[in-house]
């Protein structure tokens, strides 16, 4: 190799000129020429050149196109309908499979977490609609004779439900799946009870200093029945008054007034003492947030008479509104003062 600076001839392996010390950089072509040659590279290059040079003629306009072309670049007609059919079949099969999974999961989630179940079923419905929206045939396709397909034939093919077979993956650790599924379901159920019911109760107790020391557990019946809520009064402080306990329950009803329940069970230390129907519970919450005379009258005077007591008092007793309120709390958790 000759030095470009002083024109001194050096060895091909020399890194610097022997005369002037100039660094001799190898060109890319020289470095590639010294690499070991692979025959697979020649075969790959020949294959690419053959594919690029292979041309075909469009059966509609006669223009030259590649043999692997899907549409003609001259007239835009479809040349390979199989490509679109396979792609449509793949997308439709995925949507069909995903919609059924969403339906099944939604039906199961209704028992634990109603909003998630409804959302999952709605997602399955949307995917079912998208299934019919994906074209089963290429738009602008032709029949066997080369004639364009009519709209009626396209709609018949579009609304026909295909039977797809998708292999379910095999789980090598089936025991882990059977054990993990109930644990995940239990975790979802606990999260639903905590976020939807227990968290509003905790907010009520934190915002009112008169309720310090009071503990309440709110959850669905058996933790899985979304239509029945259990309002369990665990502990009370010595300074807690019935009016404070009553205000806490009314505030809880006000936070959940937009939700629909069949029944609310009032318990004390795990024992159900009374119950309120869902309509009365919503009316209590609405009256509490109104902050007017009519709302206060319903919360303090009318509501205690609408509660269903498990062990009702003897018939024939005529009580005033204040006495009815105290009797309700005495029968609920046995505290009159």
Judge contact between 232 and 270, C-beta under 8 A.
yes
- Tokens representing residue 15 in the block: 């890194």
pLDDT at 1: 67
Contacting residues for 38 by C-beta, under 8 A, at least 6 apart? none
Question: In terms of C-beta distances under 8 Å and separation of at least 24 residues, what long-range contacts does 98-107 make, across chains too?
Answer: 98/124, 98/127, 99/124, 99/125, 99/127, 99/128, 99/131, 100/124, 102/127
Give the Cα separation of 10 and 19 in Å (integer). 9
H helices present in the chain, as ranges: 28-34, 39-53, 81-109, 114-133, 151-159, 174-193, 199-207, 242-255, 278-290, 293-297, 303-306, 321-333
Determine the pLDDT at residue 287: 94
For the record, the structure tokens of 123 come out as: 């997602």
User: How confident is the model over 28-41, as pLDDT tens digits?
Assistant: 445 555 555 555 55
CA dihedral angle for residue 273, residue 277, residue 282, residue 286, rounded to 10 degrees? -70
Contact 131, 96 (CB under 8 A): yes
DSSP state of 210: G
**Neighbour tally for 116: CB within 10 Å:** 17
Reported residue count of the chain is: 337
Per-residue pLDDT of the chain (337 residues; tens, 9 = 90+): 678 778 778 777 677 777 777 777 654 445 555 555 555 556 666 666 655 556 778 877 878 777 777 778 778 777 776 777 777 778 888 888 888 888 888 877 776 667 778 888 888 889 888 887 777 766 555 555 555 566 676 666 666 655 555 555 565 666 665 666 677 777 887 888 888 999 999 999 999 888 888 999 999 998 888 889 999 999 988 888 889 999 999 999 999 999 999 999 999 999 999 999 999 999 999 999 998 999 999 999 999 999 998 765 555 467 788 888 888 998 998 854 4
What is the pTM assigned to this prediction? 0.51
Q: Measured between alpha carbons, how far is residue 119 from residues 37, 102, 150, 326 in Å?
A: 60, 9, 38, 43
């Amino acid at each position: 190799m000759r030095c470009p600076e002083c024109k001194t001839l050096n060895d091909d392996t020399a890194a610097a000129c022997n005369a002037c010390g100039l660094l001799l950089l190898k060109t890319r072509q020289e470095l590639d020429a010294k690499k070991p040659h692979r025959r697979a590279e020649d075969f790959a290059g020949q294959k690419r050149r053959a594919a690029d040079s292979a041309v075909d003629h469009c059966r509609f306009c006669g223009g030259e196109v590649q043999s692997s072309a899907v549409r003609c670049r001259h007239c835009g007609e479809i040349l390979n309908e199989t490509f679109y059919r396979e792609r449509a079949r793949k997308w439709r099969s995925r949507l069909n499979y995903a919609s059924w999974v969403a339906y099944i999961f939604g039906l199961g989630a209704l028992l634990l977490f109603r909003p998630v179940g409804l959302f999952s079923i709605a997602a399955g419905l949307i995917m079912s609609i998208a299934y019919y929206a994906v074209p089963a045939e290429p738009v602008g396709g032709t029949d066997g004779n080369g004639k364009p397909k009519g709209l009626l034939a396209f709609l018949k093919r579009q609304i026909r439900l295909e039977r797809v077979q998708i292999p379910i993956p095999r789980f090598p650790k089936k025991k882990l799946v059977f054990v993990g599924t109930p644990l995940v379901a239990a975790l979802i159920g606990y999260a639903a009870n905590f976020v939807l019911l227990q968290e509003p109760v905790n907010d009520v107790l934190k915002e009112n200093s008169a309720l310090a020391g009071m503990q309440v557990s709110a959850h669905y019946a058996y933790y899985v029945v979304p239509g029945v809520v259990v309002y369990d009064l665990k502990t009370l402080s010595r300074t807690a008054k019935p009016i404070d306990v009553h205000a806490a329950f009314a505030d809880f009803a006000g936070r959940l007034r937009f939700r629909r329940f069949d029944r609310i069970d009032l318990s004390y230390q795990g024992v159900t003492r009374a119950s309120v129907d869902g309509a009365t519970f919503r009316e209590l919450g609405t009256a509490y947030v109104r902050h007017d005379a009519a709302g206060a009258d319903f919360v303090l005077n009318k509501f205690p008479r609408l509660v269903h007591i498990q062990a009702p008092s003897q018939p024939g007793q005529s009580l005033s509104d204040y006495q009815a309120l105290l009797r309700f709390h005495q029968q609920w958790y046995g505290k009159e003062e």
